[in-house]
Structure 1
């Protein structure tokens, strides 16, 4: 699949539920490509005299500068923070592949942007694991963090997800060897963002099917 250069490398077409394929540092917005500001040359004017300085003979010298004026201080306003966009992030349900007790599978936390705007803020994907399931890295993105006594994984994606594109956090997990064969419920994926105006589709549950081990394995 070809991803346009204007998208982050982790962004995929939506709604195809497949994982991202490139590992990049996604926790922060992309660095600016604007050129660095040019440093002005050093001033050739004499340094201002300290207040109260004068000739030793008269003792009546006057200062030539004000202590409240910082030489070379910028008069430009501070840059404004990016405004949240009008975008709708949605979690799409995606059950992982079955696994045997003691085996491994991968949680696909699949998030799409329904638009109409490109996201202007980072968004956080929170994966809550069922009991009896433990995260086992490496994760995608690589800076995902495990919290909640080992049952919650938080992953941050940067701004720039366009309408109709998706992002997937990949969380490998291991099943407890004592789990019974059957369907394991209690897992969920949630997305949080300052941009999102609709929280009705920000959470989806998932199940893990615990399969019987093959004979002789």
Structure 2
């Protein structure tokens, strides 16, 4: 009698299943035919043809200018490479952010994301973000840098943040400069 009511509740031919919990351990007890506990036979591989890449979306990526905090010669600061998706679509392709550093400035990890790569003799850092950046959302690469002890005081020009993606058809807003101010001490004065 109890077995038929268990079947009507969705247990099917597996019989009754009870879970006994004791502390943090749990055991599953089954009553019924042994076929209910066997693994299914593996299914044959079905050839679905060549992999098809997603078509690029219609997204407009924009680099938003954020100047790093001022820093003393020999000190460290972080470049925030901030990229926004102006839409109208979610990105269907990855996006690559490249940070170009001014003379006298070297990258000093760890970076975010962790797989950012330093290239061009330490003059640039490349960070790749996967597809899926929604309209109105942003992605930020964090690139810690160290200034040479002999850089002059004042603004250091020559720093840039750029973004590239197969989704972005309007490249007019894909690159922004940043200014790194070198000050007497780490405090802004």
Q: Shorter-chain TM-score category?
A: 0.7 to 0.9
Say whether 1:102 aligns with 2:105. no
Map of 1:1-217 to 2, 5 A cutoff? 39-40=42-43, 74-213=46-185
Regions of 4+ moved over 2 Å? 74-79
Separation in structure 2 between the aligned mates of residue 170 and residue 183 of structure 1, nearest angstrom: 20
User: What SS class does the counterpart of residue 90 from structure 1 fall into?
Assistant: strand
User: What SS class does the counterpart of residue 200 from structure 1 fall into?
Assistant: helix
Separation in structure 2 between the aligned mates of residue 110 and residue 75 of structure 1, nearest angstrom: 42
Q: Which has the higher helix share?
A: 2
For residues 144-197 of structure 1, the C-alpha deviation after alignment (integer angstroms, 9 at most, x for no partner) is 000011010000000000000000000000001001111101000000000001
Separation in structure 2 between the aligned mates of residue 160 and residue 139 of structure 1, nearest angstrom: 21
Size of the alignment, in residue pairs? Answer: 147
Separation in structure 1 between the aligned mates of residue 75 and residue 66 of structure 2, nearest angstrom: 19
- RMSD across aligned C-alpha pairs, in angstroms? 1.7
User: What SS class does the counterpart of residue 108 from structure 1 fall into?
Assistant: strand
Q: Which has the higher strand share?
A: 2
Please state how far the C-alpha of 1:77 moved relative to its aligned partner: 2.5
Separation in structure 1 between the aligned mates of residue 131 and residue 61 of structure 2, nearest angstrom: 12
Separation in structure 2 between the aligned mates of residue 75 and residue 119 of structure 1, nearest angstrom: 29
Separation in structure 1 between the aligned mates of residue 121 and residue 78 of structure 2, nearest angstrom: 19
Alpha carbons of structure 1 residues 75 and 106: separation in structure 2 relative to 1, 3 Å: closer
For residues 95-123 of structure 1, the C-alpha deviation after alignment (integer angstroms, 9 at most, x for no partner) is 00000000000000000000000000110
TM-score, structure 1 normalization: 0.65
- Higher mean C-alpha deviation, range 78-87 or range 134-143: 78-87
